[in-house]
Copies of this chain bind each other. A is one copy, B any other.
Amino acid sequence: MRDAYLIGTGQSPYGSYPNESYRSLFQTAYEAATDSVDNGIDSDEIDEAFVGMISIGGRQLGLSAPAVTEHVGLHGIPTTRVENACAASGSAVRHAVQAVQSGMADVALAGGVESMTDLSSDTTRYWFGVSGETEWERMAGTTFSGVYAQIASAHMEAYGTTREQLSQVAVKSHSNGAKNPKAHLGFECSLEQAEGAPTIADPLTLYHCCPTSDGAAAVLVASEDVAAEYTDRPVRIAGVGAAGDGVGLFQRESYTNLPATRKAGQQAYKMAGVGPDDVDFAEVHDCFSIAEILAYEDLGFCEPGEGGQLIADGVTTLEGDLPVNTSGGLKSKGHPIGATGAGQLVEAFDQLRGEADDRQVEDARCGLTHNVGGSGGAAVVHVLESPEEMEVSA
């Protein structure tokens, strides 16, 4: 099976952009991705596209994927919209890898976009105001914050995880995001601010929850046969993993871990021939601070129940042994749902090429991205290798 490489990535700024449309946001990300290709790339060299998006009201109801790809000048190519809730564009990247590995595409675009702050349509409110499983969560009044609050409470009960540790995750995310010019909430926050913020769903405060953002991200996946035409510094997609699960929390055996993350991580590690100890940095799905602590555990960065201690010990800060969410994560960088998964690979690409500026992780050779749909009904993990790592391997 031929290998797949990232040859370029890009994203729009994440934030509140009332004057931007889902098309213009996608165009910004697309142009940033093509501009980042060292030797340049023309639109007619892109064979296929996968677009993650869940937005509906007021925008294109069906065929929203070709609506954005045609807009940016990708005429006539196969284009598919991929939806796995918040794991939409993580899934899009994985399917782009499949398209390349199947031989149907030499270069595939994977991206995503969401325009979330425009609530002018009833259906937009209907969509974004609620999430999770329909019959027994959403229609019973449980919000998405409520679902993750139940996870947090269970984790605290089982392992003694503290609200202060949740706040430490937020402080770290904002510290990193303050160094990211593309971040939605690009400012620092203190432990006191995180602790003292209004409660959204007990025990989660405002600072334990990610914002809703407008934004887009795009990555270009190329086969080993053509990658060298575009750059001599490609980033190898060494491992890919994905898994599903019951959509509702009540359908799972435990509230304190996400089996989909575990399975996806194990697949990706196995395919890449690495383990958690080999990972130099990770972008994980911190839609709520407790989700980052679960990710530490489910991805094997520590034992179950030790995630709270990992952040308390500073291991996952930018200066720690295993920096997590150097971009600011969903919490500070923002969470434009369809864009989030692909956006994680934008950060990983920059880190692995030594182009992450003030957020650069020293000697970053192996990175991991982790994208979750809902409260764990889907998860996608990618393991990525730096150009330097490949030279060493070769």
Taken residue by residue from 250 to 265, chain A's Cβ proximity to chain B (1 for < 8 Å, 0 otherwise) reads as: 0100000001100110
Complex: A103 Cα to B2 Cα, angstroms = 10
In the complex, are the beta carbons of B66 and A246 less than 8 A apart?
A: yes
Q: How many copies does the complex hold?
A: 2
The dominant DSSP class at the A interface is: mixed
CB distance from A130 to the nearest CB of B (A): 7
The residue that A82 contacts in the complex, of B76, B81, B251, with Cβ under 8 A, is B81
Does A79 interact with chain B (Cβ within 8 Å)? yes
Taken residue by residue from 85 to 124, chain A's Cβ proximity to chain B (1 for < 8 Å, 0 otherwise) reads as: 1100001001101111111100000000000000000110
Interface size class of A (residues with CB under 8 A): 35 or more
In the complex, are the beta carbons of A63 and B122 less than 8 A apart?
A: no
Q: Which stretch in A6-14, A228-236, A373-381, A386-394 binds the other chain?
A: A373-381
The residue that A378 contacts in the complex, of B59, B63, B75, B131, with Cβ under 8 A, is B63
Contacts of A242 in B (CB 8 A): 48, 78
Does A244 interact with chain B (Cβ within 8 Å)? yes
The residue that A76 contacts in the complex, of B80, B130, B259, with Cβ under 8 A, is B259
Does A240 interact with chain B (Cβ within 8 Å)? yes
Contacts of A383 in B (CB 8 A): none
Report if A60-B244 is in contact (Cβ < 8 Å); known contacts: A98-B95, A101-B104, A378-B79. Answer: no
In the complex, are the beta carbons of B98 and A62 less than 8 A apart?
A: no
Report if A247-B67 is in contact (Cβ < 8 Å); known contacts: A56-B56, A91-B80, A134-B61. Answer: yes
Contacts of A66 in B (CB 8 A): 84, 244-247, 373, 377-378
Q: Residue of B at shortest CB range from A4?
A: B102
Contacts of A147 in B (CB 8 A): none
Taken residue by residue from 47 to 73, chain A's Cβ proximity to chain B (1 for < 8 Å, 0 otherwise) reads as: 011000010111111111111011000
Q: Residue of B at shortest CB range from A58?
A: B134
Contacts of A353 in B (CB 8 A): none
Report if A374-B62 is in contact (Cβ < 8 Å); known contacts: A80-B95, A244-B79, A260-B76. Answer: yes
Q: Can you report 5 A-B residue pairs in the complex whose CB atoms are below 8 A from each other?
A: A1-B102, A61-B134, A64-B83, A65-B83, A75-B245
Residues of A within 8 A of B (CB): 1, 48-49, 54, 56-67, 69-70, 74-86, 91, 94-95, 97-104, 122-123, 126-127, 130-131, 133-134, 138, 240, 242-247, 251, 259-260, 263-264, 373-374, 377-378, 380
